[in-house]
């Protein structure tokens, strides 16, 4: 239903490239790293056919969107105002939002910080378990004697300190990315090979966490990422992969990964901003859907389900898609779309509204 439209939307931080299809209540989809609006290519038509206005963005610093310098354009406050600009452009007073990877972090934040604009949320990373999160422990958790100096989420220890502690034991990308320069010099000139390796490593067939076998000293990210098998893969063909290469390459030398690298480098800033929201629950209907083989599930702790149920009263039963990894909406689009559409159909008319 309807042709794919392209929009270029002005925000306080730069212009964002957006694709849209269909008419009806707005469903805004927000990607992470390594992603694009194109990462939602399998969701656009099904959502439009089901009577929704499917909207997917190239986040600032990615794809066909602007890539401004300055971390102030990429922190959680900036992402918040950019998403609101997109909703305003489509005259959506209240919409459903779907987030993957960093996009999940931005989506949860929008649901908590502007609850009147979000009628329902679906995400592929648990709430408050992003790099700047607190693992749903709130602002003042009781002392339990545990050591969170190397945890992925913590109320007590700043992200950059935790990353540095991890890096004393082995290579870890979140620490490697903190310094400006090394990642730009390593990954930009190897754009095609890096995208091939990281997309495969994050998939259900990959092994992202093999970095734990490598020391930090003298190691780059390409050293720890296995060479991917030749395309096509079951979920990605040559033409689709070429779209990722072309759109990341649009940034030019040194700016190929402006958005992703900035997203890692604002972790401390986001952790500080997030302190004001640490005790806020998600009150909207929520769906957590991810690949059963997503490496995120291996690093966030086994009690994530119970913590989410406590802080998200209207959470649906989590959906773990067998065989899929971190790129679940691309790896298993049929299962992902079925779960998402079923969730959206449950929502009352009041979950959506126009300005």
Q: Which residues are known catalytic residues? A: 101, 326
3-state secondary structure of 48: helix
74 backbone φψ class: left, alpha, beta (φ>0; ψ -120 to 50): alpha
212 in Cβ contact with 298 (< 8 Å): no
Residue 244 DSSP class: H
Is the Cβ–Cβ distance between 39 and 327 less than 8 Å? yes
- Residues contacting 349, CB < 8 A, separation 6+: none
- CA dist., res. 96 & res. 234, Å (int): 29
The answer to whether the beta carbons of residues 128 and 156 sit under 8 Å apart is: no
3-state secondary structure of 74: coil
Q: HSE-up of 305 (CA within 13 Å, CB side)?
A: 8
- Considering only the C-alpha atoms of the chain, give the largest distance between any 2 of them, rounded to a whole number of Å: 57
DSSP 288: E
Q: With CA atoms as reference, report the closest residue to 329 among 62, 132, 145, 100.
A: 100
């Amino acid at each position: 239903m309807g042709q794919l439209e392209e929009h270029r939307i002005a925000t306080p931080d730069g212009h964002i490239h957006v694709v849209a299809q269909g008419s009806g209540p707005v469903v805004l989809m927000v990607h992470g790293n390594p992603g694009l609006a194109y990462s939602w290519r399998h969701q656009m038509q099904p959502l439009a056919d089901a009577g929704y206005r499917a909207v997917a963005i190239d986040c600032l610093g990615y794809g066909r969107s602007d890539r401004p310098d300055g971390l102030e354009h990429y922190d959680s406050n900036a992402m918040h105002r950019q998403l609101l600009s997109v909703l305003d452009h489509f005259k959506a007073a209240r919409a459903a939002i779907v987030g993957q990877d960093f996009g999940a972090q931005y989506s949860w934040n929008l649901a908590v910080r502007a609850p009147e604009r979000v009628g329902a949320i679906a995400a592929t990373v648990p709430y408050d378990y992003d790099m700047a999160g607190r693992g749903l422990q709130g602002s003042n958790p009781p002392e339990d004697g545990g050591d969170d100096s190397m945890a992925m989420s913590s109320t007590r220890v700043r992200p950059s300190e935790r990353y540095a502690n991890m890096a004393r034991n082995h290579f870890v990308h979140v620490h490697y990315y903190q310094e400006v320069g090394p990642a730009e010099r390593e990954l930009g000139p190897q754009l095609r090979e890096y995208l091939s390796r990281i997309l495969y490593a994050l998939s259900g067939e990959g092994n992202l966490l093999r970095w734990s076998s490598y020391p930090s000293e003298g190691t780059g990210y390409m050293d720890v990422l296995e060479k991917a098998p030749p395309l096509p893969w079951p979920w990605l063909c040559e033409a689709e992969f070429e779209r990722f290469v072309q759109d990341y390459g649009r940034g030019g030398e040194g700016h190929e990964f402006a958005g992703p690298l900035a997203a890692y480098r604002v972790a401390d800033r986001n952790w500080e901003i997030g302190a004001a929201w640490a005790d806020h629950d998600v009150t909207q209907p929520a769906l957590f859907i991810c690949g059963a083989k997503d490496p995120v599930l291996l690093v966030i702790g086994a009690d994530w389900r119970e913590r989410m149920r406590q802080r998200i009263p209207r959470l649906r039963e989590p959906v773990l898609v067998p065989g899929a990894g971190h790129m679940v909406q691309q790896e298993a689009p049929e299962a992902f779309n079925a779960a998402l559409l079923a969730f959206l159909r449950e929502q009352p008319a009041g979950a959506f509204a126009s300005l």
